[in-house]
């Protein structure tokens, strides 16, 4: 005699967690987009102000780090229960 399992098969995370993971990924991508640029038209010219700007050296890494922290939080967050 076999017993039928009544447990509902589900994903490891809830839908809310996956949405938060997508948002975190977008934050990380935004940080990397802020890092790009600084190319000079002439390879002999080194534009220090363009390469070492506040946006590339400080702001973008902080945003990327915040995105990774958000990802960890999104994975660890317990979903709201639907039973009332």
Confidence bin at 7 (pLDDT 50/70/90): low
Question: Which residues does 9 contact at the CB level (< 8 Å), separation at least 6?
Answer: none
d(CA 78, CA 37): 39
Instruction: Of 14, 20, 11, 15, give the one whose Cα is nearest residue 72.
Output: 20
pLDDT one-digit tens code per residue, 14-69: 899 999 999 999 999 999 999 998 777 888 888 888 888 999 999 999 999 999 99
Domain boundaries, the chain: 15-38+46-76
């Amino acid at each position: 005699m076999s017993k039928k399992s009544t447990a509902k098969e589900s994903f490891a995370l809830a839908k809310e967690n996956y949405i938060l993971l997508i948002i975190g990924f977008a934050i990380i991508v935004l940080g990397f987009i802020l890092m790009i640029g600084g190319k000079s038209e002439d390879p002999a010219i080194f534009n220090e102000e363009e390469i070492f700007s506040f946006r590339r050296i400080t702001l973008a890494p902080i945003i990327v780090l915040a995105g990774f922290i958000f990802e960890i939080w999104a994975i660890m967050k317990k979903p709201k229960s639907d039973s009332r």
